Structure formats: C-alpha cells, structure tokens
Structure 1
Amino acid sequence: MRESAAERHKRLLELVRKRGSARVSDLAGLLGVSPVTVRRDVEALAGEGRLDRVHGSVSWPQGRGQGWEPWRGQAPGQGGAERRAGGGELVLGLLAPSATYYFAEVIRGAHEAAAQAGARLVLRISDYRPEEDRSRAEGLLAAGAEGLLIAPGWRGPKDPAEHGDWLTELPVPTVLLERGAAPGSALDGLDRVVSDHRHGVLLAVRHLVGLGHGAPLLVARADSPTALAVRSGYVDALDALGLRAPREAIDSVSAEQRPEDFEAAVRALHTAVASGQATAAVVHNDVDAIQMVQRLAELGVRVPQDLALIAYDDEVAALADTPLTAVAPPKRAVGRQAARLLVERLTAGPDADEPRRHLSLLPRLRVRASCGADQRTP
C-alpha cells in the first residue's frame, strides 16, 4: 500500500527528532523518496512550526522537548499563514528578465501582494540571458526563497525547449509569469499567470476597423515572448474579423541598437501609407511607436490625419507629442495574482491537493489622440 503524506511526515519528524538535525539529501535516502518530495514535506512542516529550516537542512525546533508536538490543539484545516506566525517570515523569490519597462510593473504588483501577505520578496534579474536563468533561480533558493515566481529570459520561440526543462525540476512551488508553454509539455503543467496578448491585439484591430479603416498594418519586434504573442495575436484577430493583412508584418527593432534597420521599418511604413496600402497600424512597442511617429512626421506622414496608430504596452504612450492610443496589458495585476497564488500554495496544509492553475488576464485599450477617434466619432 502506498504511504500517505501524513505517514511520511511522521517518519520524517521522528528522524529529525532523534538526530536533532539532518540534511534534506540524507532524509531522502533514509525515507526512500526523492529529494523533491522531501523538500516539499520540509516546506510544509516548517510552515507549521514543526521543524526549523535553513537551506539544505532541517532541525528540531529549539527549546522544545522530545515529546513536543506543535500540531496538538490546532483546529483541522488551520492555514499555514496562521501557523507560520511564530515560525519566521515567508520568503518568495522572483526571477525577471528586467527590472525596467514592462517588468517594472509586474515586479511592483508581486511586491505589493507579498507585503500584504506578510512575506518578503527577493529579486534577481537575468537580463534576458535564458542560459543563466537556472543558476539565478538556484541563487534565490540559496537566499532562502521557499517558492519562486519566474519569468524566464526567453527571447525566441526555441528558448522554452532549450532552456526550460529545469523549471519542472525545482523543489519548491513555482509560478510562471508572462510566459506560456507548448500544450502537453512538462512546462504546461506548472502554475502560470499571463496577459492575454491575443485579446489585446484583437481590441486594437477591432477599434481601428470600427473607426472606418481597413485591416491595419502590424509593425512589431520579434525578440521577446510578448512580441511573438502580439504577432500571432494579429493573425488571429484578422481571422476572427474576416480581414486580410494589407501586407506582411513590418519587422521593428531598437532605433538605438540597430538604427539602419529601424529606418528601414519606418520607410516601409511610410511607403504603405503613401501608396494607400494602409491607413492604420498597430505598433509594438511604445518606444518604437513614439520614435516612428516622430520620423514619419519628418517624412510628411501625420498621425492621426494620415495614419491612425495604436501602440502596444502602454508604458510611455501617453507621453508622446500626440498621445498614443495603446493596449495596456495588466502587468501589475499579473504580478499580484502570481504572488497570491504562490503564497496560497506555500501556506496550504500538507494534505492540500489543489489543481494547477493557468490564469489569463485581459488587457485594456486606452483611447487617446493617435487613433483619430475624436475625428471619426460623434
């Protein structure tokens, strides 16, 4: 008969009580289970105050006799958050590819939710180097993180397969942030919280069509999961509305890093407008959109008179000379919901068996001057 979690916890506690302290790796061998299982058991028992934990080892709570049983007298189902009150601060680890622009708001939301739960958030940045994600996550664990929020530094479509398998081997509860996974893959079994970028692009395309334009052009990068989601969302939006793209998407790049390629993108958009091929465009991201509007003006194309434009991200769109209508992913809400989900996992009782969750939050469209809505609607 398969041993229950409660029976395994009892054996684990007895081993630690007799030894005073033990390494997690040693306990795995003594109990005949995997290190991952032992680590999860230790997290649950430490959260209840039954054990004292430091990274890699556990000890019998100081000041308690051998007959001490901290679980006695507790109401059935009492939450881990309450039991943790005298057992130290809950520590959450957050790995993000950047602490600026898009992810600044995600981090802020996670920090708010952690603070509300009485937990501490520890942050590490990968700088979009997916090959370094694993070591940085291990650094968070070494710093005492008991659960992880991870936005891998993926850039291209092959990165999840090449740099993602390690995520499923983590010994603590883990929630993916703003990252999806291939259906049926091991990564697809993790908790995750994401913005629904397909819905966001649909909002933009539908708004422009409602203003009397044909299918808008897409000008987008291809250097991040968000950019790739915007591109695929554009195709889906056109299909949903029965539209055909006026031409292939225009590849956008950073004007600072690749000025010649950025100029080529601006020229392609200018040609499409001058030839009558398109009267509207969706541009990812805000910074590119602002710089394109400035350059187009120098070439004689006015926004919104000659080109209705909607940016994607809404980080700095409102600050443009002509404030840009923009799709706003719920970045701060993503961070909040992910941190709340992680805290829930960490403070659930040892016998909790809740299903994994995929939370998809809907972006909003913030209408400003660049789409020309005030010129086309009563």
Structure 2
Amino acid sequence: MKKLLKLCLAVAVMASMLSLFACGEAPEEKKPAEAPAPEAEAPKEAPKAFKVGFVYVSPVGDAGYSYAHDLGRKAVAAMPGVETKFSESVPEGADSERVIRNMARNGFNMIFTTSFGYMDPTIKVAKEFPDVAFMHCSGFKKSENVSNYFGRIYQSRYLTGLVAGAMTKSNKIGYVAAFPIPEVIRGINAFTIGVREVNPEAEVRVVWTKTWYDPALEKDAAKSLLDAGCDVITQHQDSPAPQEAAEEAGAYAIGYNSDMSSFAPKANLTSAIWNWGPAYVKTVEEGMNGAWKGDQSMWWSMADGVVDIAPFGPMVPEDVKASVLAKKAELVAGKDTIFAGPVKNQKGEVVIPEGTTAPDADLLGMTWFVEGVVGTTE
C-alpha cells in the first residue's frame, strides 16, 4: 500500500511538471532597440507684414486730395506682404500728433503724413521712434528718419491754365484757394502763366477760404467769383463744390486732385490730377528692401507720372486740346520752362530775368503773385 502511494505521488509530481512546461510562456524574445522618433519641427512663423500707415486731412470720399492719396494707398495694399491702414479727417496740430504717435506705437514700419500742417507733428513723433520711416507730403523739414515729398502739380496747373485762357469769354477766371502757402501760391502762378500765354488780357481772381475742406464755404467762395463776372472757376480745395457752383451758374470749371467731371459734366473742362500709386509703391518697396533713406526731398514730375491732367470735356475744341497736349509732351520729356524769365510780379517788376529759370528752392519758397493775379498773398 505504501509503495502504491509513493508511485501515485511520483506520477502526480511528474504530471504537474509536464503541465507547467506545456503551459509556461516562452522566454521573452529581445527586440532590437528602436531609433528614437525625430523631434517634430516647430511650425515656422509667418513673416510679419510690412505695415504702412496714412494720415489724411479730409475724408477719403471727398473726390479730392485725400481721395487721390487713398488711391495710392490701395496700390500699396495690393503689394504682397504689406498691410495698410489710414486715418481720415485728421485736423492739423495736436490731433495729428496723437494719430501719428499711435500708428508708430502700433508697429507701423512706414507712415505717410499727407498734409502740410502735419510737418511739425511728424518731426516731433519721429524723434521718439527712430526705427520708423516717416514720409511727409508738401513740407520742407527733414531728419534721419523723415523725408519729404511732393509732386510738380504746378505743371498740371499750367496746362489747365492754357485751357482756361482759351475758354474764357469774360477774361475773368476765378480761383478758390485754401491757404496762402508756397504750394498754393506756386500753383496759382503757374495757372496764371498758362492763362496769359494764350490770352494776355485775362486775369485770375483769387479768394482764400483758409480751409482745405469745407464744401459749403468753397461753394460760397465760388459763387462770389461768379457774381464778380468770372466765367471759369478753378480751385485748390478738396471738394467738388466749386465745380457744382460753376455748373449751376452755366460757367466752366477746372477741377483738382482727381477727375471731377462726374460732379459737373456740363461745366468741367479738365482737372489737374494726382497719381500717387507709382511713387508710393516704389517708396514702400525701398522700405521693405532696406533701401529707404531719411533726410531726402522728392519732387516728382509729369515725367514720373505722378501729376497729370484729366480727359478734356466735350466742350473743349480740338485745336485747344492739341496745343495743350503738345505742351504736355514737352513736360513729359523733361522740358519745363513754365517759370522761365522774364516773369513779372503783380507790380510789374521782373522777378525772374530773361534767360534764367527759377530754381527749385525759389519755387518751393514762393510767396509772391505773378502779373495777372488779382488778390493778395495773405
């Protein structure tokens, strides 16, 4: 019996060992070590846009000065990698300084300040932000990061004067003007030189409004000139109100800044116009490429495509069109003799002698009227 028990025990132990062997896990197979996964590259940041700001003295919808500048801004906004913003109807003085400073604080790379009265605020803010490029329109002060610019719009004024001189019957032409500063005085003089080149008997009567943009006041000024016998009205103002006054009175008109014919289709002979797009695009490209320089003065001309005249109205005779376009071709070719002597002032004194041409410095500082202008520079 004991032997039988021992035998059974031995069989049980054997069976248990066999069971463990049959059900046991195979030794773990060592796998080759995997190479560590490469670290994911951090997403690249999109390049920052080149931010360009514009400050306007009047509404962009005025069809005038600020409207023309904003057409230039839109050309810049279409450039790849550029972001633009504008502030409109910004008064000259403390308000403009605040607007310009806010743009500089908000990371704008280049700021265009487009009115003469923004000059000192631009210079002041530029000192605080030496890494920002500032472009001031129509002024004369500069610094390491401020350049000024303008266009020879007097060339367009001269051409429109040729038209006015040919079209007047009363020999009285009215000029609604903003402020008696060199920019405006120079334009009046060039216009008058054109008028008297084709009509020596004609005179140009000037009324000052002392505002860039006030449609009601501009219209009243035009009406006063019409009441004085003027049969052609032109302007250095931002709204088409003088054009409308001329059409209502059955007179002719010459616009400024943009083609104003749609506001007075029966009166508008042509307009002296700005085309800021090419100049603005070129300037911004220079800023983006690191080629822009401060302390510069740019005075773009008809040859540069920045100033021009609008299409003629249907009432302008073909011979007048032809003669004006011939003079325009000379200006486009770089032949500018508008302020070539002899040129007399209102007193009949020769101020630009025969055989000489007024240098740019004299034109930029012009404070006197030529012979043929009725009015004062005050």
Instruction: Give the shorter-chain TM-score range.
Output: 0.5 to 0.7
Instruction: Report the Cα distance in structure 2 between the residues aligned to 1:100 and 1:290, rounded to whole angstroms.
Output: 16
Shift of 1:203: 0.9
Shift of 1:341: 0.8
Q: Map of 1:308-327 to 2, 5 A cutoff?
A: 308-322=252-266, 324-327=268-271
Paired residue for 2:124?
166
Paired residue for 2:79?
116
Residue identity in the other structure for 1:329: I
Given that residues 160 and 191 in structure 2 are in contact (C-alpha distance below 8 angstroms), is that contact kept between their aligned partners in structure 1?
no
- For CA contacts below 8 A with separation 6 or more, give which structure has more relative contact order: 1
Change (3 A) 1:236 1:359: closer
Instruction: Report the Cα distance in structure 2 between the residues aligned to 1:113 and 1:134, rounded to whole angstroms.
Output: 23
Paired residue for 2:104?
141
Of the candidates 289, 296, 299, which is equivalent to residue 356 of structure 1?
296
Greater gyration radius? 2
Given that residues 175 and 342 in structure 1 are in contact (C-alpha distance below 8 angstroms), is that contact kept between their aligned partners in structure 2?
no
Runs of 5+ unmatched residues, structure 2: 1-40, 301-305, 323-378
Given that residues 160 and 254 in structure 2 are in contact (C-alpha distance below 8 angstroms), is that contact kept between their aligned partners in structure 1?
yes
Instruction: Report the Cα distance in structure 2 between the residues aligned to 1:245 and 1:235, rounded to whole angstroms.
Output: 13
TM-score (norm 2): 0.56
Paired residue for 1:201?
157
Instruction: Report the Cα distance in structure 2 between the residues aligned to 1:238 and 1:197, rounded to whole angstroms.
Output: 14
Of the candidates 220, 231, 241, which is equivalent to residue 288 of structure 1?
241
Shift of 1:202: 0.4
Of the candidates 139, 142, 155, which is equivalent to residue 181 of structure 1?
139
Identify the structure with the greater helix proportion.
Answer: 1
Instruction: Report the Cα distance in structure 1 between the residues aligned to 2:54 and 2:293, rounded to whole angstroms.
Output: 24
Residue 97 of structure 1 pairs with residue 39 of structure 2: no
Paired residue for 1:266?
223
TM-score (norm 1): 0.56
Q: Identity of counterpart residues, as a percentage?
A: 9
Paired residue for 1:235?
189
Shift of 1:216: 5.3
Change (3 A) 1:129 1:309: closer
Alpha-carbon displacement from aligned partner over 1:140-181 (angstroms, at most 9, x marks no partner): 122221222222472xxxx74x5453155242343435x222
Paired residue for 1:18?
none
Corresponding residue pairs, total: 266
Instruction: Report the Cα distance in structure 1 between the residues aligned to 2:144 and 2:176, rounded to whole angstroms.
Output: 26
Tell me the secondary structure at the aligned position of residue 291 of structure 1: helix
Change (3 A) 1:143 1:375: same
Given that residues 150 and 175 in structure 1 are in contact (C-alpha distance below 8 angstroms), is that contact kept between their aligned partners in structure 2?
yes
Instruction: Report the Cα distance in structure 2 between the residues aligned to 1:323 and 1:269, rounded to whole angstroms.
Output: 13
Paired residue for 1:345?
287
Q: Which moved more, 1:235-244 or 1:339-348?
A: 235-244
Shift of 1:376: 7.4
Paired residue for 1:19?
none
Shift of 1:204: 0.7
